Structure 1
Amino acid sequence: MRTINFPTNISEKSKWQLLYNYKKNRTSVVGKIVNFSVYFGFTIDVDGIKAEMSQSDLSYAKDIEPEKYVGQYFVFAIKDINLNDKILKLSRKLSVVNAKAGTIVTIQQYYFPYLHPVTI
């Protein structure tokens, strides 16, 4: 399995420790929204780690269709992490707040800077 946020061949315990360090350093992570529930919000896969996000943490826009976001990758900020209970809460809104002006880049630019964008 290809990982985006962690080195390959890393244990789950080490992944959780890295996520904790990401939270301390205000580093964003990339995850894929895999499910949406009206009652529980979004379920996000961060390289094999299950994370949660409420619908209100998705966007500042009020009129959104959450089902349209399922299956897509986004950059998220870590809102809360509990290493003992293995609970990871993310926020897409917070990642925008944490970004400084002029530092917002696409996932491709962030993780694959050697690829050049193509304009069609």
Structure 2
Amino acid sequence: AGSSGAEQGFKINRLVLEPDGDAGRYRYRMLIIRQGGKPDRDALGAYEIVATIDQHGHDASITFPPKPGDASHRVAFRHFQRVDGVITLPDGARLKSIEVRFVQDGQIRARATAAV
């Protein structure tokens, strides 16, 4: 289950997070939606995932991709974009939750959270 919030005409829906076989690997999928109006050009942006983990009894967070602007996390779409992928945690880390953010021009335009 996840929650979502809309900011600046974008929304993240259907965020799903599930274990993917090996320990520390999780598969995610979501739908980034542009809301309102009839867009005349594609929305360009990127998504990032902030994972909240427990590592050796301490809370920490890890951002994917590790470097902002990583091409693998860029998206361009007119109305909506389905996104899926896998994150891998460091050894000994236990995933608590993730927050996904859609970022455009350095601003967070939408976010959603999901717990394991």
TM-score by length of 1: 0.26
Which protein, 1 or 2, shows the higher relative CO under an 8 Å CA cutoff with sep ≥ 6? 2
Decide which structure has greater strand share.
2
TM-score by length of 2: 0.27
